[in-house]
Amino acid sequence: MGSTRVPAVAAHRGPAIGPLSWQVGVTPATNDGDALADPHGFLRSWNGTGIDACSGAWTGIKCVRGRVVALQLPWRGFGGRISDKIAQLAALRKLSLHDNAIRGPIPPSLGSLRDLRGVYLFNNRFSGGIPPSIGACLLLQTLDLSHNLLTGRIPSSLSNSSRLIRLNLSYNNISGPVPVAITQIPSLVFLLLQHNSLSGSVPDTWGSTVSNGTYQFQSLHLENNLLSGSIPMSLGRLQMLEDVSLSNNQLNGSIPQEISTLSRIKTLDLSDNSIGGSFPASLCNLSSLVELNLEGNQLEGPIPEAIDGIRNLSLLSLKNNQFSGDVPATLGNLSSLSRLDLSENNLGGRIPASIEHLTNLTFFNVSDNDLSGPVPILLSDKFNSSSFAGNIQLCGYSASFPCPSPPPASPPSPSMPPTPIRRSLSPKNVILIAVGVFLALLLLLFCVLLIILIKKRAAGTSKQSTATGGAAAAAGAERDEKPGPAAGTETEAGGDTGGKLVHFDGPLAFTADDLLCATAEIMGKSTYGTVYKATLEDSSQVAVKRLREKIAKSQKEFEAEVNVLGKIRHQNLLALRAYYLGPKGEKLLVFDFMPKGSLAAFLHGR
């Protein structure tokens, strides 16, 4: 090998490293102005001890059959420049010096490396223009010069590299138009030209060179440039296209219908342009679309109801347009939706309750529209008030904007049918309604049982007093008397004092004379009368309420009401045992005496 001349790279003891073609073991380069700077000493293995560069001991060098085919030294902190003498590495296929601090121009001599397949010089400080000579590298597959300080125009000669798959010139200061020839490279898959100063229109010649077969183009990034004109219809030819970003340019016109033929597209970003027209309904057929960003344009009209046809949609941003009409309830069918921004439009109506069931939703904004009505509860709980601000008639999304109480119901106009108000109930409201219905049913059941019990008691009492009641009725008829108390009661004449005493519970426990002669103790007074504790001669006690004459009703009304009250029996009610009608109109009600006092006394501590 000592007599074979191979392209080699050597280093001296100083900071400069220069590519030269010499016989292995020759003294290192001395032209520091055209050399790389190695401040961290990564290339100490590149020395002049006579060791072959293809011995395997040289860092970053890969050889095939004694010839250098790859120079791979990324992330080494190199400075300086790349010399034109790199062309002496005639068999070089891969040049990878990305993520360093190399400055100066890209050597035009790279164009003489006919076997060059990959150039990776991104994330450096290269300046000047892109050498047109690189187009002579007919086998070139990847050219990545992104994130540098390059200026000038994109050379049309790059289209001569008919095997070029990836062209990345993003994040530079390249100007001028996008060359038409670039759009006709049949092998191109990725074209990344974003964040430059490109101007003019986007060429409408995509896929024009492919007559048979399918164009393999997948990713187009032209965002953050100065491009104008309309969106090219020829993009519809790129049936393998998955990623399109034309945002932050000066594009106008409408969204072409041809975009809807891109059955594989996953990302479509046309934001921050001047695109007008309506939302093409045909876009709703793009079931593979994951991200759709149309914000910052002049789109108008309604949002299509069929938008749920984009069933895999995760991001939908229609912010800052002129959309009108209602928010489609079908958005609630997009189960994968995580970001939904409809802010700064002219949308009206209510927020559909279906949206609150989107469990993957992490961002939601409908601010600055004309929405009205209450915000669905789950949405107001999940997102802060800024998501709903700027809608004057919207309520319920914060304590500062509560919903008003509903007005009292009024009968509907006979000429106009009532308009049903649809609003989904929250789980909390459903539970409260169910509990209320259950309690109402229990109360109804209790009332039915109480009525049945009263009827059974009345029937039993009437059987015991049938004979007595019948005789009394007959006697009364013979004497032309008015009908007496209802069946089931015991009636006694008023004794020496006159009047009438009526018992409701069977045999007479006391007479009218016993009642009138009992010792009495006042227990309380009210507007209706005075209550006494009466102790009878047999030491039994009853509670007697003497009704005031001025407020008491006529005898006929009094007896009718008291007969009804006397039949009521319940464990929580004090039973009326008897009543007395005196000859001078006095009226007494007799109850069981409760020694522990009344409920009012118990509650109020009296």
Q: How confident is the model at residue 569, as a pLDDT?
A: 77
Regarding predicted confidence, which is higher, 214 or 437? Answer: 437
Regarding predicted confidence, which is higher, 443 or 508? Answer: 443
Regarding predicted confidence, which is higher, 156 or 212? Answer: 156
Domain 276-407 has CATH 3.30.110.30: no
Regarding predicted confidence, which is higher, 589 or 271? Answer: 271
Q: Residue range 514-541: average pLDDT?
A: 75
**Three-class SS state of 389:** coil
Report field, pTM of the whole predicted structure over 0.85:
no
Q: How confident is the model at residue 590, as a pLDDT?
A: 83
CA 68 – CA 95 distance, rounded (Å): 11
pLDDT band of residue 10 (cuts 50, 70, 90) is very low
- Asked if the model's pLDDT at residue 602 lies above 90, the reply is no
276-407 shares its CATH topology with 489-604: no
Nearest of 524, 143, 381, 72 to residue 63 by alpha carbon: 72
Going along 441-595, which residue ranges are E strands?
490-493, 500-503, 519-526, 529-535, 541-547, 576-581, 587-592
31 contacts 12 by C-beta, under 8 angstroms: no
Q: Give me the chain's average pLDDT, please.
A: 81
Lowest mean pLDDT among 19-33, 168-182, 323-337, 340-354: 19-33
- Asked if the model's pLDDT at residue 505 lies above 60, the reply is yes
Quick: pLDDT tens for 370-387: 999 999 999 999 999 999
Nearest of 326, 354, 323, 355 to residue 338 by alpha carbon: 355
Task: Give the architecture-level CATH label for domain 489-604.
Answer: 2-Layer Sandwich (3.30)
Q: How confident is the model at residue 520, as a pLDDT?
A: 75
Q: How confident is the model at residue 500, as a pLDDT?
A: 78
Quick: pLDDT tens for 109-122: 999 999 999 999 99
Domain ranges, ordered by start, for the chain: 276-407, 426-460, 489-604
**Amino acid of residue 49:** T
Quick: pLDDT tens for 400-459: 778 877 666 555 555 555 544 444 556 667 777 877 888 888 888 888 888 888 877 766
